[in-house]
Structure 1
Amino acid sequence: MTSDDPGSAPGGPGGVPGRPRAPEWEAEHEVLEAEAAELVGTRFPDLRGAPVRSLATGWDNTVHLVGERWVFRFPRRAVALPGVEREIAVLPVLAPRLPLALPVPDRVGRPSGAYPWPFWGAELIAGEELAEAELDGAARVRAATGIGAFLRALHDPDLARELAGRPGCVLPVDPMRRADPRVRAPMARERLARLAERGGWTPDPAVERLLAEGEQAGPPPGPAVVCHGDLHLRHLLVGPDGEATGVIDWGDLCLADPAVDLSLAYAGFDGRARTALLAAYGRPLGPERELAARVLAVFLCAVLADYAGSTGRARLLAASLTGLRRAVAR
């Protein structure tokens, strides 16, 4: 979800007048299975002839599983390319320092006459997206505890200082202002209005109150830390028992306020599970950070619901609408 400004899509402000605005997730270049097999086999001869099957599709990448072991990500849009380069440079540094698995780009394909953009492959991480998992209460507590401990390690100020001193690991600072509720609240309201027009959302006074409060608030104080940058319901992987197994899709990796990642505490969890996440995180949030995290949770769930409703993903739609309700739950 690299470009989440609705005006950045063709046909929006700056687009082609008179034409319908194309969805932000529309691919500029989609690599299907046959092309993926050719690109991977040419670049990595030991994988030539290995079976290839489609694994997932997101806004920015088409993902294929090669040889039942290697997950290859192929960019769909040019706007994602800086994030791809950050993943290639930084994920190998982060992975050994964090308690959950990260996709490590062990196999990197560079632009060529056959494909104009970089792509990369990492070993498959077991688990399914939190949005797709049907977890009972105990399993959800287990997942929340795992991601809370993970975020505590990721947000360690020492990690930010270490990356700052390594060549190639300089990160942008909250480039999309996701920690600023004054920016995210009106964007969330626009997405929710779009959902309501299609009949996918009934306006909720509690959500409206939260967004109105966010529009009057500034970003939380405090130093920026290393953040995943786009930590929503699709990017936490869990096992059947709820154990958190990995965190994927790091194209929005940046320095930002911890609220940017802690939005998952409000979109993905409530009740005992949220309490367990924040306890494992172990650092106080404060009212400004909590507000920023809740507003961002509403925005991300609204975007996911818009995407899911437009692309026929019923389970993701249901999870996203549930996330909207969780974001305002106390």
Structure 2
Amino acid sequence: MEWAAEHEMTAGAAAALVGERFPELRGAPVEPLATGWDNTVFRVGGEWAFRFPRREIAVPGVEREIATLAALAPRLPLPIPVPRYVGEPGGGFPWPFFGARLLPGRELAEVRPPDGRRAPTAAALGGFLRALHDPALVPAAGARLPVDPVRRGDPAHRAPMAADRLDRLAALGLRRPDPRVRRFLDAARDAAPPAGEPVIVHGDLHSRHVLLGPAGEAAGVIDWGDVCLADPSVDLSLAYAAFAGDDRAAFLDAYGNVPPDRERAARVLALFIAATLAEYAAVEGLADLLAESLAGIGRVLAP
């Protein structure tokens, strides 16, 4: 599968490597915390989250996180990881890795608040992205970031990819083809990218990368391996996959105006991301993520 690990890290290997590089953490308990397409995360000593790349393609993203997140964190209204321990390749591990203070919370995809009761979370995330997308942050923290390296903000590029992902879900029996979605994606194949200068974006903002606290409040934004300069639509995809109705209105009230070309690009990317996550969740047996991702596809074109 496309998310298969090229180097699988175990808790034992992580403990040995962390203890060797950072003596103050030697002997600290190490336990698996999360696994994604590109990284494996371990909880170390109960208070640190160490991220180890699983695939070589993820290494530039880890390097961008190490270089960027400390400058971004003080300027944002929600917590994000800040690398405190930075490890270079060696000791049997081929790539850089880092440890940041553990952000408490559970993934939105795991909590799955009911639709109609997501407005407070939506408003917090809209305010968060309003701050992140401030053009003034670009010279302060983003001058060396690449510009949309995988063309997530280009609807003409992403529309056929989204259609292909949705076809794969239909082939798996997970979702019936939707003519309305197909017409929307067909029309987007000729759409120009949104107008405007690029800003700093998270780059891969979806239901696994938003943490919720015990009362369902937004508690943090994690996994910044795709941080780059791009059109804001790349992150605004979250507004269309995670929220609908009054919940989405709360997000947009906090964020501000989204012009039609940016909204279209965000909806196209939302379909692609939600369909990709649904396929991954189905293959890996992640029931909560599957349910949230399929619901997200349904939300994208909802009012």
1:256 and 2:252 are equivalent in the alignment: no
> What secondary structure sits across from 1:221 in the alignment?
coil
Where structure 2 has 5 or more consecutive residues not aligned to the other structure, the ranges are none
**What letter corresponds to residue 128 of structure 2 in structure 1?**
F
Letter in 2 for 1:202: R
Task: Write out per-residue CA displacement over residues 270-329 of structure 1, whole angstroms, 9 at most, x where no aligned residue.
Answer: 1111000010002x1111110000000000001001110111111101100000000010
What secondary structure is seen at the aligned counterpart in 2 of 1:28?
coil
Q: What does residue 314 of structure 1 align with?
A: 287
Out of 209, 216, 222, which is 2:183 matched to? 209
| Cα distance, 1:206 vs structure 2 | 2.0
Deviation at 1:135, TM superposition (A): 1.7
CA shift at 1:30, angstroms? 1.0
- The answer to whether residue 106 in structure 2 is matched with residue 128 in structure 1 is yes
Runs of 4+ displaced beyond 6 Å: none
Equivalent of 1:285, from 258, 261, 272? 258
Indicate the residue corresponding to 1:222 in structure 2.
196
Native 8 Å contact 2:112 2:292 kept in 1? no
Aligned position for 1:295: 268
Task: Show the counterpart of 1:9.
Answer: none
Shift of 1:113: 3.5
Identity rate, percent: 60
Structure 2 counterpart of 1:206, one-letter code: R
Which residue does the alignment assign to 2:174? 200
Structure 1 198/255 Cα, relative in aligned 2: closer, same or farther at 3 Å? same
Paired residues of 1:135 and 1:241 also in contact (CA < 8 A): no
CA distance in 1, matches of 2:165, 2:246: 29
The match for 1:178 is 152
- Name 2:73's counterpart in structure 1: 95
Q: Assess if the C-alpha contact under 8 Å between 1:139 and 1:243 holds in 2.
A: no
Q: Which one of 36, 43, 54 corresponds to residue 58 of structure 1?
A: 36
The answer on whether the counterparts of 2:49 and 2:101 sit within 8 Å (CA) in structure 1 is yes
Size of the aligned set, in residue pairs, is: 303
Query: Is the CA contact 1:139–1:241 (under 8 Å) kept in the aligned structure 2?
Result: no
Distance 1:116 1:209 in 2: 45
Distance in 2 (CA, whole Å) between partners of 1:234 and 1:281 is 21
Cα offsets for 1:250-288 (capped at 9, x unmatched): 010010010000000000001111000010002x11111
2:118 is the counterpart of 1:140: yes
Report what 1:269 is aligned to: 243
Give distance in 1, aligned partners of 2:23 and 2:140.
Answer: 36
Alignment of 1:104 onto 2:104: no
Distance across 1 between alignment mates of 2:291 and 2:155: 25
Matched, 1:232 2:210: no
Q: Residues of 2 paired with 1:269 and 1:252: CA distance?
A: 22
Tell me which amino acid in the other structure corresponds to 1:205.
P
Tell me, in whole angstroms, the C-alpha distance in 2 between the residues paired with 1:96 and 1:286: 29
TM-aligned CA deviation for residue 85 of structure 1: 0.5
Query: Residue 138 of structure 2 corresponds to which residue in structure 1?
Result: 160
Contact 2:86–2:99 (CA<8 Å) still a contact in 1? yes
Q: CA deviation at 1:137?
A: 5.1
Separation (CA, whole Å) in 2 of partners of 1:162 and 1:315: 38
Structure 1: any 5+ residue segments left out of the alignment?
A: 1-22
Alpha-carbon offset, residue 186 of structure 1: 0.4
How far off its partner does 1:216 sit? 2.1
Residue type of the partner of 2:59?
Answer: L
| Secondary structure class of the residue paired with 1:157 | coil
- What is the SS of the residue equivalent to 2:109? coil
Work out whether residues 71 and 140 of structure 2, in 8 Å CA contact, stay in contact via their aligned partners in 1: no
Alignment partners' CA distance in 2, 1:63 and 1:99: 24
Counterpart residue identity of residue 171, structure 1: L
| CA drift at 1:205 | 1.7
For the residue of structure 1 that corresponds to 2:111, the secondary structure is coil
How many angstroms does 1:37 deviate by?
0.7
Q: How many angstroms apart in 2 are the aligned matches of 1:50 and 1:161?
A: 39
> Distance in 1 between the 2:146 and 2:112 partners?
35
Q: Which stretch of structure 1 is more off in the superposition, 192-201 or 219-228?
A: 192-201
* Root mean square deviation of aligned Cα: 1.1
Please state how far the C-alpha of 1:114 moved relative to its aligned partner.
2.2
Aligned to 1:326: 299
